[in-house]
Structure 1
Amino acid sequence: MFLNTVLLAAALANPAPADFAQVGDLSGRYKTFGTNFDGSVYRGEVLITEVSKTSCKIAWVTGRTSATGICMRVENAFSATYQMNDGTSGLVIYRIADNGTLAGVWTVAGRDGMGTEVLTPVK
């Protein structure tokens, strides 16, 4: 009984990677709206491309700034690491809404602060 309890606790603490096909593929184009660390607003486009059952590529274009990275989904959480065209790297974490919108927060390595970002699917 003790061993079953330990195994159940471990499984709940470490969920298995989600298969994009099982939870809804997020591949596609998105409009992005966000705020920078200083509160200024940006807009642009994002492309998410599934590359395996558990990972994807992501690319942002916002004005003269671009970034690319890798991403993954676990249940209603979606995260990505990215590198901007100037070499800056960062992390973004989104919550996936029932309508397919992704709302999250992002940061840049070595800097204090957070920005916000919402991705809305382009239909």
Structure 2
Amino acid sequence: MKKLIFACLAATLGMASVAQADVAAGTYSVEGTNLDGSSYGGTATITLSSDTTCHIHWSTGSESDGICMLYGNAFAAGYVFKTGGVGLVVYEVMDDGSLEGVWTIDGESGAGTEILTPQ
């Protein structure tokens, strides 16, 4: 699984161009699948903290907070659940401003998917 996540991260960063994609601060609708394949939804709020970094907060039945980074069309975040778990998500920034990604949690098997859509 770690090889899959690293391969996805490398592929996403490899697709990144020199020009920065546009990720807007604000609230996003969240639609995703858990590690077991079940679905979830909620909201995510992105607050920019520099040209390439930001803070992100998810509210999807559980709460988590993270730091994020934009590089070309790759958008990645490391996050911590209120219960203490640590995770990683890697998104591709789409032309319509949505973010399509894959995520995992340290020590867990599998990968989930997630789409953030600007509200």
TM-score bin (small chain): 0.7 to 0.9
- Please, what TM-score do these two structures have when normalized by structure 2? 0.81
Q: Which runs of 4+ in 1 moved over 3 A?
A: 15-18
Q: Counterpart of 1:78?
A: 75
Structure 1 unaligned blocks of 5 or more: 1-12
The structure with higher relative contact order (CA 8 Å, sep 6+) is 2
Give the counterpart of 2:96 among 90, 99, 102: 99
Taking structure 1 as the reference length, the TM-score comes to 0.79
What fraction of aligned residue pairs are identical, expressed as a percent? 48
Give the aligned CA root-mean-square deviation in angstroms. 1.9
> What is the total number of aligned residue pairs between the two structures?
105
Describe the shift of the 1:102–1:75 C-alpha distance in structure 2 as closer, same or farther (beyond 3 A): same
Whether the 8 Å contact between 2:28 and 2:44 is mirrored in structure 1 is: yes
User: Structure 2: 5+ residue runs without aligned partners?
Assistant: 1-13
Q: What residue number does 2:30 align with?
A: 32
Residue-by-residue CA offset, 1:84-122 (whole Å, 9 max, x unaligned): 111000000000110001000000011111000000000
Question: Is residue 50 of structure 1 aligned with residue 14 of structure 2?
Answer: no
